[in-house]
Amino acid sequence: MSITLDHSSFPVIDLPRRPLVTRTTYRAAGAAPAAPLRLTGRGRIALVAVALAVISALVIVFGSAVVASDSAAEPGIVTTVTVQPGQTLWSIAAEARPDADIRSTVDEIVKLNALEDGVALPIGTTLAVPTTD
């Protein structure tokens, strides 16, 4: 059996091509795609340093209202009062200094006796009270 090969050229068939389909996305002019935020080690250190600086500044500005001074408190005349039933700091301050501002007298009583705000006075407690200057 023998095979013969025909080396004749085949005719080129030109098939109609379909148009290429492309996707078009519209973006605003100059808008770049948002990249995810990635911090390096140096960036993390810088971020922590900035946060600590802000916290330190807030502590300095809005820190304790108590300021220490080099001068001693002015000496005054102090007496002791024993708390009776029904007495309040307000009434004790009014009796001790009737001609002075009662609010400032109450503040002095609180400071002299290291009283806590809002704590009731126990009956029989001895308080140091400033008297008339």
Query: Residues 68-126: pLDDT tens digits?
Result: 555 555 657 888 999 999 888 889 989 988 888 889 888 888 888 888 877 788 889 89
Collect all residues with Cβ–Cβ distance below 8 Å to 37 and sequence separation of at least 6: none
Domain extent, residue 84, equals 78-130
Domain count, the chain: 1
Residue 82's CATH number = 3.10.350.10
Q: What is the pLDDT, as a whole number, of residue 54?
A: 95
Model's pTM, two decimal places?
0.43
Instruction: Read off the tokens for 130.
Output: 């400033």
Please write the tens of the pLDDT for every residue from 38-51: 889 999 999 999 99
Q: Distance (Å, rounded) from C-alpha 111 to C-alpha 125?
A: 16
Residue 112 belongs to some domain of the structure: yes
Residue 119 belongs to some domain of the structure: yes
The closest of 95, 82, 91, 80 to 132, measured between CA atoms, is: 95
